[in-house]
Structure 1
Amino acid sequence: MQVSARNCLKGTVTSVNIGSVNTEITLEIAPGFKVVSIITKASAEQLELTVGKEAYAVIKASDVLMAIND
């Protein structure tokens, strides 16, 4: 995976709250340190984000995106 963003935080998904349009993903990047992102429901499904899965919080400007390393 290569991205232009300078801030990529690796962590583990600890919570997935699915809404009708968006999904809230909580990623624990270190013990006690969490990042929360709201992404589209379709994106969460495409990335197969589930509790316990390793993922990345990709931070650029004021947006937080989620990524996985396949």
Structure 2
Amino acid sequence: MKISARNRLKGKITAITKGATTSHVRIDVGGSTVTASITNEAVDELALKVGQDAYAIVKASDVMVGID
């Protein structure tokens, strides 16, 4: 896979929850869960399945930092 985004988190799909038009795809990345909201069409086109390896790719113009 070639992509310009540098924030790629490799993990395993743990759940796919389809709604009317949007799916929530949960990816376990080293014990932490990242949830992506993507279209149902994208889930079908990528043939996503629970247990499959996948990347969470973060592309944002701003990243916030917080502390306790």
TM-score greater than 0.5 by the shorter chain? yes
Aligned partner letter, 1:48: A
Runs of 5+ consecutive residues of structure 1 not aligned to the other structure? 63-70
SS at match of 1:37: strand
Q: TM-score, normalised by structure 2?
A: 0.85
Question: Number of residue pairs matched?
Answer: 61
Distance, in Å, in 1 between the alignment partners of 2:46 and 2:54 is 9
Normalised to the residue count of structure 1, the TM-score between the two structures is 0.83
* Structure with the bigger percentage of strand: 1
State whether structure 2 residue 56 is matched by structure 1 residue 57: yes
Where does structure 1 differ by over 6 angstroms across 4 or more consecutive aligned residues? none
Q: What percentage of aligned pairs have identical amino acids?
A: 38
CA deviation map 1:6-46 (0-9, x unaligned): 10000000010011100000000112x01000000000111
